[in-house]
Amino acid sequence: MKSSRLKMLTVCSLVFLFLLILANIVSVAAVDQAATISIPEDVLFQAITDGLPISIEAQSQYVQGDAIIQSLEKLQVREKSIFLQGVVTGQNVTVNTTIAGKEVAMNLGNVRLPISCELFLRFDGSKKVLFVRPSFPKPESLYTTDPADALLLLLSALGEKEYPVELGSIQPILAKVGTRNIPIALEPVDIQTQKGLLLIKMRPRVSKGS
């Protein structure tokens, strides 16, 4: 009698465990709506600051040189853009100019310049690509021998162009159900900005686990 009760208890426990695992798998697989991750601007500021300095590849018809973002002083996430203020240095800055009818390359050396920039974001959901378009202040003239204006001219060559950032799927996370690991890939759906926040919408996709 005791043995049959023990067997019955064991069977009930196994059935309950199976239903629990099944419920977890179904609940995970049924999540098909996009989840939104909100990143505050101060967290974004710290993440960018920790990655500095950053070299910038910039080319201009009139100016050549190496531009490096040295520091970030301010970051604001706005309704339609991300506003940045920081310090950029230029190394081996050379300006192409005309003297007495001849083209001359003038070496202006190194320069340090406080700069502001506004980043406009556009997410292509079908291609899973984030397009970033920077906008810098315009220099007063294309022809200058002032090192700061020359660096600004070099940076402005980056503006008004969209730069693609391919996202694809975010690194999968593992959901452990019993002894099984179920990989959940996070597929980016949209990226937007609102005042003080960067919003990343992602849709989880469940694949076969091990």
For 129-184, the pLDDT digits (tens) are 899 999 988 777 666 667 788 888 888 878 878 989 887 655 666 666 667 777 77
Q: Tokens 């040189």 — which residue? A: 65
Helices (H) and strands (E) in the chain, counts: 3, 10
- The letter for the amino acid at 197 is L
- Over residues 12-17, mean pLDDT: 38
Domain chopping of the chain, boundaries? 40-166
Write out the two tokens for 155: 């940076």
Judge whether 96 and 61 are in contact, CB under 8 Å.
yes
For the chain, the residue count is 210
Judge whether 53 and 88 are in contact, CB under 8 Å.
no
What residues contact residue 160 under an 8 Å CB cut-off, 6+ apart?
133, 135
Q: Give CA–CA dist 183/202, Å, rounded.
A: 15
pLDDT at residue 27 above 50?
A: no
Distances (CA, A) of 126 to 53, 141, 188: 33, 40, 10
The pLDDT assigned to 198 comes to 92
What percent of the chain is predicted at pLDDT more than 70? 71
